[in-house]
Structure 1
Amino acid sequence: MDLKPIQKKRVYQEIIEQIKDSIRNGGLKPGDKLPSERELADRLSVSRNAVREAVSVMESAGLVEILQGIGIFLKEDNQDILTSRMDGLLNQQGLNLAELLEVREGLEGQGAFLAAARRTASDLDAIKIAYEKMKNAYALNQIAAEEDYEFHIAVVTAAQNATLLDAVKLFSDTFLLGVQHLRSRSIKAGKSQTVLTEHFEIYQAIEQQDAERAEKAMRVHIANAKKRHLLDSKFTSL
C-alpha cells in the first residue's frame, strides 16, 4: 500500500484547488472572468482575506489577470496547461516558505561572505547590473522576481564555489515563487524601498570586500523577508 504524508492545506490553497477543479470540469475556461471577491467568499464560506491571498498567489504565478474595475480573469491558455500549472503551484506552495528562507539565510549568508572575499571586477559588475535591473523594475511597480533571483545568483556565483551555487539553484523554482509571493505583498504594503535598500547594502559590502558586513547584510535581508512573511501570514490566514 503506497501511502503519502498528509499535509494540511491553508484556506487559499483550497480556493485555488476548487478553481482548478472547476476548470477541469468545464465550469471555467481559460479567459473566463472569475466570480467577484465577495461572491467567491460567500460561495466558498471563507473570508475575503483568504480569497485575496488566493488571487494574489495566482496573479504572482501568472495564472490570472486583474483588470481594475472590471474583474479577475483566467489567463488565456490551453486548459491542460493551465491546470497543470496550478498543480505545480499548489505543490510548490506546499513547501513552508519560512523554512525555505531559513535555509537560504545559511547558504546565501555564506555565499555573500565568500563573494566579498573572492569577487572579481566582472563578478561585481554582474551584481551591479542585477541590482540596477531590480531597481528599474521596482520603479515601474513590478514584482521583479526574475531580477531579484538574478541578483542573488550573481552574489553566490561571485563566491567561486560551484557546490554552493548548485545548492542555491536547487531551490530556484521555489525561490522564484517565494519572491513573487513576497514581492506582491511588499508592493501593496509600500515596502519596495526597504527591500531595495537591503539589496544595496549587500552590494556595497561586497564592493568594499567587507566579508563580515556582506554576510550580515545578506542574513538581515533574508531574516527580514521571513519576518515580513510571518507578519503578513498572521493577517491573511484563518
Structure 2
Amino acid sequence: MILKPIKTPKVYEQIVDQISQQIAQGNLKPGDRLPSERELVERFKVSRASIREALSALVMMGLVEVRSGEGTYIRRVNAESVVTPLAWMLVIEKNTDLELYESRKIIEVQAAGLAAERANIDDFNDMFEALETMRKNLKLHHLGEEPDHNFHYAIAKAAHNKILLRLMTTLSDTLRKSLKSNRSKIFEHEDSPQKLFNEHFQIYEAIKNRDVEKAQKLMMDHLVGVENNLRRCIVDDIKESAH
C-alpha cells in the first residue's frame, strides 16, 4: 500500500471552507455583510494577504460580491449556480487548462450529439444568436469570448440533460477565463478567427440537420484543434520564461 504525505491546506483555503460552511448552514444569509478585512484578520489570526486571497476565491465561486465603498456581501445563489466541490477545485487548482479541454471533449461531444437529436426551435435560436454576435465581433476584430461561451452553453442546454447542463454551469466561469486568454493568443494568427467561426457554424448546421455523428465529429475536431493551439501556447510560454 502506497501512502502519500498529507499536505497542510493553504491558509486561505481554510478561510474559504469556514465561510462557505457558514453560508451552507444558513448562519450567513444573502445580503449579509461580511466583517471588514481588519476584523477578519483579527478573528482568523491570519495575514491580510490571506484574507484578500480568500475573498477573491469566494468572489470567483460566486458566493460573495464586493460593493465598491460598501464592503463584501453574501450573494443570493440558485440551484444552478450553487458551488460544488468541482467548482472549488477549479478555483484553487492552477494550470488545469489542458485538463479542462480533456473534460470538454468528454462532455461537449456527447452534448452535440444529444442536441442534434433533441434541440427545439428556441435552442436553435440561441445558437444562431451567439453565432451572429460572433460574426459581428469578427468584423470588429474583437476577441468574442462571450458569444463563443454562449454558443457552447446553448448546445449543452439543447441536449436537455439536467446533469450535463449542471456540469457545464460548474465549468462555466473557468471556461470563460480560459476562452479569453486562449483567444487572445489564437488571434495572433490572421486566419484563425475566421477558421474558428467557420467551425462553430458547421457544428450548428450539423445539429440543425439532426446529423448526430457529424455534429459529434465536428465538435471533437474543433476542441482538439483549440487544445493543440493551447499546447503550443504553453510550450511557447515555457520557452519565453526560460530566456
Taking structure 1 as the reference length, the TM-score comes to 0.62
Q: Deviations for 1:180-223, whole angstroms, at most 9, x for unmatched residues?
A: 01110111122111111111111010011101110111111111
The aligned counterpart of 1:67 is none
The aligned counterpart of 1:154 is 154
The aligned counterpart of 1:123 is 123
The aligned counterpart of 1:203 is 204
* 1:186-201 aligned within 5 A: 186-190=186-190, 191-201=192-202
The aligned counterpart of 1:236 is 237
- Quote the offset at 1:105 in angstroms: 0.8
- Quote the offset at 1:2 in angstroms: 6.7
Query: Structure 1: how far apart are the matches of 2:108 and 2:7?
Result: 37
Letter in 2 for 1:203: Y
Query: Structure 2: how far apart are the matches of 1:215 and 1:167?
Result: 18
Is the 8 Å Cα contact of residues 124 and 207 (structure 1) preserved in structure 2?
yes
Is the 8 Å Cα contact of residues 106 and 219 (structure 1) preserved in structure 2?
no
Is the 8 Å Cα contact of residues 138 and 144 (structure 1) preserved in structure 2?
yes
Query: Structure 1: how far apart are the matches of 2:228 and 2:131?
Result: 22
The aligned counterpart of 1:34 is none
Letter in 1 for 2:187: I
Is the 8 Å Cα contact of residues 92 and 174 (structure 1) preserved in structure 2?
no
The aligned counterpart of 1:166 is 166
User: Do structure 1's residue 100 and structure 2's residue 100 form an aligned pair?
Assistant: yes
Query: Structure 2: how far apart are the matches of 1:151 and 1:174?
Result: 16
Q: Secondary structure at the match of 1:189?
A: coil
Q: Deviations for 1:32-58, whole angstroms, at most 9, x for unmatched residues?
A: xxxxxxxxxxxxxxxxxxxxxxxxxxx
User: Do structure 1's residue 112 and structure 2's residue 117 form an aligned pair?
Assistant: no
**Structure 2 residue runs without a partner (length 5+):** 1-5, 11-48, 50-67, 73-89
Query: Structure 1: how far apart are the matches of 2:147 and 2:200?
Result: 11
* 1:24-39 aligned within 5 A: none
User: 111-120 or 138-147, which moves further after superposition?
Assistant: 138-147
Query: Structure 2: how far apart are the matches of 1:180 and 1:208?
Result: 30
Q: Deviations for 1:115-168, whole angstroms, at most 9, x for unmatched residues?
A: 001111221111111111111112211111111111011111111111100111
Query: Structure 2: how far apart are the matches of 1:167 and 1:96?
Result: 16
**Do the aligned partners of residues 92 and 149 (structure 1) sit closer, same or farther apart at CA in structure 2, a change above 3 Å counting?**
farther
Percent identical pairs in the alignment equals 29
Query: Structure 2: how far apart are the matches of 1:95 and 1:231?
Result: 15
- Quote the offset at 1:95 in angstroms: 3.8
**Structure 1 residue runs without a partner (length 5+):** 6-23, 25-76, 82-89
- What is the alpha-carbon root mean square deviation over aligned residues? 2.6
Query: Structure 2: how far apart are the matches of 1:192 and 1:93?
Result: 29
Taking structure 2 as the reference length, the TM-score comes to 0.60
Query: Structure 1: how far apart are the matches of 2:157 and 2:232?
Result: 31
User: Do structure 1's residue 3 and structure 2's residue 8 form an aligned pair?
Assistant: yes
Instruction: Give runs of ≥4 in structure 1 deviating > 2 Å.
Output: 90-93
Letter in 2 for 1:140: L
How many residues were matched structurally? 160
Query: Structure 1: how far apart are the matches of 2:132 and 2:111?
Result: 20
Q: Secondary structure at the match of 1:203?
A: helix
- Quote the offset at 1:93 in angstroms: 7.6
Letter in 1 for 2:221: V
Is the 8 Å Cα contact of residues 137 and 143 (structure 1) preserved in structure 2?
yes
- Quote the offset at 1:4 in angstroms: 3.4
Query: Structure 2: how far apart are the matches of 1:221 and 1:93?
Result: 25
